[in-house]
Structure 1
Amino acid sequence: MIIGSGTVAIKALIEIGGFGNLFEKYMAAIPNPIPANLTQCAMPKEDSFLMLRSLSDPDMPWLGFILGQTPASIWYWCADQMMVQRLLAAKSLSHAQGGALFAGYLKILPLFLIVIPGMISRILYVDQVACVDEVQCMNYCGNKYSCTNTAYPRLVLGLMPSPLKGLIMSVMLAALMSDLSSIFNSSSTLFTCDIWPRFRKNATVMELMIVGRAFVIVMIAVSIAWIPVIQEMQNGQLYLYIQDVGSNLAPPIAAVYILAVIFKRINEPGAFWSLMVGLLIGITRLVLNLIYLKPECVEGDTRPTFVKLHYMYFAIFLFWITVIICTVVSLFTEPPKDYLLIRTTYWTRHSVEERIDEKVDMIGIEAKTTVTNGSYIDTEMIDSKDESKQSIIHQFVTWFCGVTTNDQKGGGEVIQHQPPGETNIYTIEQNKKARVCLLVCLTLVICVAITIFVILSIPGWWHIFDH
């Protein structure tokens, strides 16, 4: 994917005569025709090449970005189940940190492989990508607000030869399907493991499997039903819509996550009620955004202040509201028990004490325990019926849900458990060489990111590429 997008970026730059022509040609990329009342909307913004802008900028205010986008990033990269499951699959702490740093370096590339080619797409296909007339936009992309979402696909289809078109588009779709699969599986895992057992405490493995797969189907249906809402609310800018939604929901999770890691006094009631209040505030703003749609650029914004407040500034407000509620409620309620803090905070991460709740409680476990060749095996037998006595419909449902039985071998499914008292605790210790190498890589990626932000926020930086 990187090679393909890099090829597209290089070919696009060659098409406009190099990076030195990008600014001049982009500012001259004005669509035609332009309705008389939408001239301002069709003109490229003078600060289009600035990354961090004034405090009142409607797109990227520098203070809102630094303080407001950070909670959303912390939630996504540190607490989102889809990301966490990848890190937990790492071989060691060094591998997990190395993977995160590698992702950090890759995050620098979209600026050069996606953003800049997207701007070139406006230059090459100005009427299609930068259209502002509702009729024209509907003809070009089926969206009456804007066709900016089609900028990159249109560039790929317009510049690449036929074999590469299909290859690059298939790679993009494969990446999209990978993300969707991870999201659906993560949602299914959370529902099956955390929510469903509260209603069915003794659910069988087969039941949990069926519930998990059924929940994926429900999530797919909800996603499809949400498409019209996205089309109506995004105003032709899907990326900004995604960031807006994330800023309404992510800050409470990030706040509780940070407090739980660094503050030993935070307890369950504080986390619960702060999350509930933060979620209520965020959902309220989401609903109000559905009611009070964002006006076009030529119209005055008459929405309530709570709604028209920039989503990055709202994220700051929501983050600190959650921090205050979580801290106050925790201080006025019973502190967490000492054993719950073992290896769960930054200050106790190296503790080797044994947690009470990690001891295997054999009371109530319906299992057969045998010793074979001196090794301990704890087996849980899952009863199953003879497939020959099942109806065709039942066999189809069993096959469709991926549930298999071992009756033909003379027994049920066997689940092996680890012997009590021998649960492995994986260490987070690192050797000095790995720690120093990771620290150097971390320092380097931070310096590169800060340098890019600073340089691309200086007015006139693009003149260094003038001929």
Structure 2
Amino acid sequence: PCLPTSKWAADIVVVAMYFVLVLAVGFFAMWKANRGTVSGYFLAGRSMNWMMVGASLFVSNIGSEHFIGLAGSGAASGFAVGAWEFNAILLLQLLGWVFIPVYIHSGVYTMPEYLSKRFGGKRLKFFFASLTLLLYIFTKLSVDLYSGALFIQESLGWNLYVSIILLITMTALLTITGGLVAVIYTDTLQAFLIISGALCLMAISLVKVGGLEGLCTKYMNASPNVTAIELENNITYSNSCHVHPKPDSFKILRGPLDKDLPWPAFLLGQTPASIWYWCADQVIVQRVLAARNIAHAKGSTLMAGVLKVLPMFIIVIPGMISRVLFADELACIGPEHCMQVCNSKAGCTNTAYPRLVMNVMPVGLRGLMMAVMLAALMSDLDSIFNSASTIFTLDIYKMVRHQASSKELMVVGRMFVVLIVAISIAWVPFVVEMQGGQMFLYIQEVSDYLTPPIAALFLLGVLWKRCNETGAFWGGIVGFLLGAVRLILAFVYREPDCDTTDDRPAFIKDVHFMYVAAVLFWVSGLVTVVVSLCTDPPSKEQIVIQTGVKCLEWFCGYNKNLEEPDSPFGDEDRNVTEMLKEPPKTKIILNLGLLLVCALGMFLFVYFSL
């Protein structure tokens, strides 16, 4: 229930001040930005420095679904979910050192456009653009809207749809009017808010459980009082549901048959599949392409990699603390009890973070955390709106309207944001029905059935000269069809309630989705290689666009002998040689930073797996 208005006055003032500040920063960015050109609107004129791009990368990834999903998985199963965060530290550097030089050299704005230039033809471009927009709706927008609504319901008790419409309207307003410049400026502000607010909550909650040592002891004993709950509700529940924490809760990489994080599946399936998100997803890549040159692009991935250390400590661990403090609610003991507590039969751990915020934070700071959650939601949404607009405008609309002017493209881009906002609002009722016990794992499962073929296609396109359009197309199609069938079967054979017998087929019940991702990635890659070798090689122009076959060359610096491609929008962009030029001292510093950040990522994996 909502608290009396007087107790919320300070919090509401903080939230209101946050909105005013974000709007002021957004309008300042709009005033400063060159929004009259395609480059200015979609890539911020390629003028952003490494700190702003790095901050935008971080908050574009850490949306409200992370606060809800990571904390919920932490409450349910401990450290395991942190593996995705540590994995990102390494994959971000793959983006900066291998993929971004290729994208800059090819002169592209979008990832489907890169496929078209690299392989030729239009079918790969259209296929990938359409699949990306579908992924945004089902794994990004849908989950963001549900998680944001869940927090609003837990904290303020506001009407679900009024709150969502208000947030989407404000986010879309900034995106439509300001383009990527407004997005990056507001993301930089929100990064500061998110990190500072989450650190405050982490410190306060750690004090309440006696620090990390207290958490290690109390988490393993964080089980609900089954007898008290049964007496209170006059119902006998099964003791097999959500009651006891797992014995290996304080390890991230676990046994081959573990239901949360089997280590062979993570290394062979999840890691290659994540290449799509970190190296070929428009939301992420578009930010790095907005950097003023390759040095700032690499610096931004280093900064974002360092920041990705934080979620384990500011989100996952607070989620585990929330289970300690609210075991009776979060570790509900059966479907009936879970329905009573949080209106979800699958479990209540998704409410871990908002419950901690509303019960632990003092007045004022609680308002800061409400602003943090809203910031995370808005930063994620504005990133998706901007990137979806870019893909639709430049990869689908321009394919139909070849002679469209820059003005027409920008108008269409803005109007598409309005359309995707309407679709998002209409999808909200389905989101509420689709949510499961661990939201973050739902995102990963759906993505792992659809994205591994794309990851294989991009990786081969960048690293292997002989890969051609026919091989890439059939490799992608075969992988997509296999993944789509598995996804449909996963929805047909839904996981039963935890207190009932699981009679699903063994290949659904016993095969972890990350093992499926491994099969899809390697099968797609094999089909691509075989078909490419059996058909004509790509043209010389397509091989020049690829330019990524020698990773060591990119590590040491740009080869000036490479030809410069024509800019896709005339004289708006600086020449490629200037964009890819690195001063020798800067190159050395960046490469040392690369070694240190990669060493940090590998150390964290080892340390949290022992």
Q: TM-score, normalised by structure 2?
A: 0.61
Distance 2:276 2:215 in 1: 35
Contact 2:334–2:498, Cα closer than 8 Å, also in 1: no
C-alpha offsets along residues 105-138 of structure 1, whole Å, 9 cap, x if unaligned?
A: 1111111111111100001111222213334333
Which residue of the partner structure matches residue 275 of structure 1? 476
Contact 1:157–1:165, Cα closer than 8 Å, also in 2: yes
Which residue of the partner structure matches residue 386 of structure 2? 185
1:442 aligns with 2:442: no
Which residue of the partner structure matches residue 559 of structure 2? 350
Which residue of the partner structure matches residue 119 of structure 2? none
Deviates more, 1:199-208 or 1:235-244: 199-208
Which residue of the partner structure matches residue 332 of structure 1? 534
Distance 1:297 1:50 in 2: 24
Give the deviation of 1:298 after TM superposition.
4.3
Q: Which runs of 5+ in 2 are unaligned?
A: 1-193, 231-235, 551-557
Distance 1:218 1:306 in 2: 39
Out of 504, 511, 516, the residue aligned to residue 303 of structure 1 is 504
Give the deviation of 1:174 after TM superposition.
1.4
Match of 2:242, SS state, is helix
What letter corresponds to residue 535 of structure 2 in structure 1?
A: T
Deviates more, 1:199-208 or 1:19-28: 199-208
What letter corresponds to residue 504 of structure 2 in structure 1?
A: R
C-alpha offsets along residues 395-437 of structure 1, whole Å, 9 cap, x if unaligned?
A: xxxxxxxxxxxxxxxxxxxxx95399x9554342423322222
Out of 571, 576, 580, the residue aligned to residue 418 of structure 1 is 571
Give the deviation of 1:146 after TM superposition.
1.2
Match of 1:37, SS state, is coil
1:161 to 1:205, Cα distance in 2 relative to 1, 3 A: same
Structural mapping, 1:46-445, within 5 Å: 46-205=247-406, 207-308=408-509, 309-347=511-549, 350=559, 352-354=561-563, 358=566, 417-418=570-571, 425-445=577-597
Distance 2:422 2:359 in 1: 33
1:53 to 1:423, Cα distance in 2 relative to 1, 3 A: closer
C-alpha offsets along residues 303-362 of structure 1, whole Å, 9 cap, x if unaligned?
A: 23443321111111000011011111211222111122225222476253546x7389xx
Distance 2:606 2:333 in 1: 32
Q: Kindly tell me the number of residue pairs found equivalent between the two proteins.
A: 401
Contact 1:342–1:351, Cα closer than 8 Å, also in 2: no
C-alpha offsets along residues 63-110 of structure 1, whole Å, 9 cap, x if unaligned?
A: 111222212321111111111111111122121111101111111111
Contact 1:71–1:319, Cα closer than 8 Å, also in 2: yes
Distance 2:512 2:602 in 1: 23
Tell me: higher relative CO, structure 1 or 2? Use CA pairs within 8 A at least 6 residues apart: 2
Give the deviation of 1:214 after TM superposition.
3.9
Contact 2:335–2:498, Cα closer than 8 Å, also in 1: no
Give the deviation of 1:448 after TM superposition.
2.2
What letter corresponds to residue 160 of structure 1 in structure 2?
A: M
1:5 aligns with 2:198: yes
RMSD: 2.5
Give the deviation of 1:211 after TM superposition.
3.6
Give the deviation of 1:205 after TM superposition.
4.8
Distance 1:209 1:339 in 2: 29
1:221 to 1:359, Cα distance in 2 relative to 1, 3 A: closer
1:60 to 1:225, Cα distance in 2 relative to 1, 3 A: farther
Percent pairwise identity: 48
Distance 2:350 2:223 in 1: 17
Contact 1:233–1:290, Cα closer than 8 Å, also in 2: no
Contact 2:242–2:347, Cα closer than 8 Å, also in 1: no
Match of 1:51, SS state, is coil
Match of 2:596, SS state, is helix
1:113 to 1:302, Cα distance in 2 relative to 1, 3 A: same
Out of 11, 16, 29, the residue aligned to residue 222 of structure 2 is 29
Give the deviation of 1:284 after TM superposition.
1.8
1:49 to 1:230, Cα distance in 2 relative to 1, 3 A: farther
Distance 1:354 1:452 in 2: 41
Which residue of the partner structure matches residue 364 of structure 1? none
Q: Which has the higher helix share?
A: 2
1:215 to 1:286, Cα distance in 2 relative to 1, 3 A: farther
Contact 1:269–1:330, Cα closer than 8 Å, also in 2: yes
Give the deviation of 1:221 after TM superposition.
4.0
Match of 2:251, SS state, is coil
Out of 211, 222, 225, the residue aligned to residue 18 of structure 1 is 211
Give the deviation of 1:210 after TM superposition.
4.6
What letter corresponds to residue 202 of structure 1 in structure 2?
A: Q
Contact 2:448–2:513, Cα closer than 8 Å, also in 1: yes
Distance 2:433 2:504 in 1: 17
Work out which of the two has the higher radius of gyration on C-alpha atoms and give 1 or 2: 1
Deviates more, 1:346-355 or 1:335-344: 346-355
Distance 2:598 2:570 in 1: 43
Contact 2:463–2:549, Cα closer than 8 Å, also in 1: yes
4+ long deviations beyond 6 Å: none
1:172 to 1:40, Cα distance in 2 relative to 1, 3 A: closer
Match of 1:358, SS state, is coil
Give the deviation of 1:40 after TM superposition.
4.8
Give the deviation of 1:439 after TM superposition.
2.3
Contact 1:263–1:345, Cα closer than 8 Å, also in 2: no
1:425 to 1:441, Cα distance in 2 relative to 1, 3 A: closer
Which residue of the partner structure matches residue 452 of structure 1? 604
Match of 2:508, SS state, is helix
Which residue of the partner structure matches residue 388 of structure 1? none
